[in-house]
Amino acid sequence: MPKHFLMCRPDYFTVEYAINPWMHPEAGADRDVAVRQWEGLKAAYEELGHEVSLIDPIEGLPDMVFAANGALVVGGSVYGARFAYPQRGPEGPAYLRWFAERGYPVHGPLHVNEGEGDFLTLDEVILAGTGFRTDLTAHQEAQEWLGRPVVSLTLVDPRFYHLDTALFPLDGRNVAYYPEAFSEGSRKVLRAMFPDAVLASAEDAEVLGLNAVSDGRNVIINAEASNLQLELKRRGYEVIPVELSELRKAGGGPKCCTLEIRGEN
C-alpha cells in the first residue's frame, strides 16, 4: 500500500558542528549537491506511488533535513522528539507544531528521544534504541502514549548512534540489521524475534546501508551498500539505490530524511 512520508528540503544544510562520528566541520559540505541528492530521493518515493508532504526548513537548523528524528507517528498519534544536543533542540517543537496544525493528536515528550531515529515500527511492536541518544524512559513514555509494545535494544558502537543506522524493517514482521552495533543481550533478542533476518556486513553498515526505507516490496538504499543490495534481491525485494553521499557527511541516509506518517488524523 502507498505510504505517506514527511520530508524537509535541505535548503540550510551544512556541517558546522560535530555531534556524531560522521560529522567533520573542517571538511564542509556542498549544499547544492545535498539538495540534488535529496530531490532524487523524493522523486524515488513519488515514482513508487508514495505521498510526500513537506515541512518548511528553518534557517539555522542544518540537520532539520533529517525528518525521521522529528517525531514518531503510529495510528495517527504523534509522539514528539526531544533532542539530546542543543544544536537540534528547536527541531522538536517545529515538527510537533506541523502535526498539531493539521489536527493530529500530539504528545510533547518529557524524556529525551529522537523520533524515528530510535523508534522503528513493525506490525505488532516498536523496536526502540538506546545507548547514545534516546533515554530508556522515553521507551516507556512512547508505549503509554501510542499503546503499542516497545522492545528496547542497546546500541554500543558510536558510529551507529541511532537505531535507524543499524537496523531497518523489511516489512511488518522482519528486519535487516548489523549485529555488531548491538549489545550481546540485544543481539539475543533480535535473533529470537527475527530468526530469518537479513544480516548486514560491516562494509555495508559503514556506508549507512541500513539507513534504508522499505515499503514491503521496494527498498530504497544507499548506493554504496552493494552486498546488502544483492542479498535483498536474493530475498525477492526490488532494490532502488540512491546517492546521498553529501548528507552522509552529517550521518544521514534515506531513512534519516524520511518520517513515516502511519494512520491519518
Has 8 been annotated as catalytic? no
Counting Cβ atoms within 10 Å, is residue 252 exposed (0-12), middle (13-18) or buried (19+)?
Answer: buried
H helix intervals, 17-90: 31-47
Contact 119, 140 (CB under 8 A): no
> How many whole angstroms from its chain centre is CA 57?
18
Contact 134, 117 (CB under 8 A): yes
Is the dihedral angle over the CA atoms 4, 124, 207, 227 positive or is it negative? negative
Has 256 been annotated as catalytic? yes
Catalytic residue among 8, 50, 139, 256: 256
Cell of 39: 530531490
Cell of 9: 528540503
Catalytic residue among 50, 139, 162, 257: 162
10 sits in which H/E element: none
Positions annotated as catalytic residues are: 162, 256
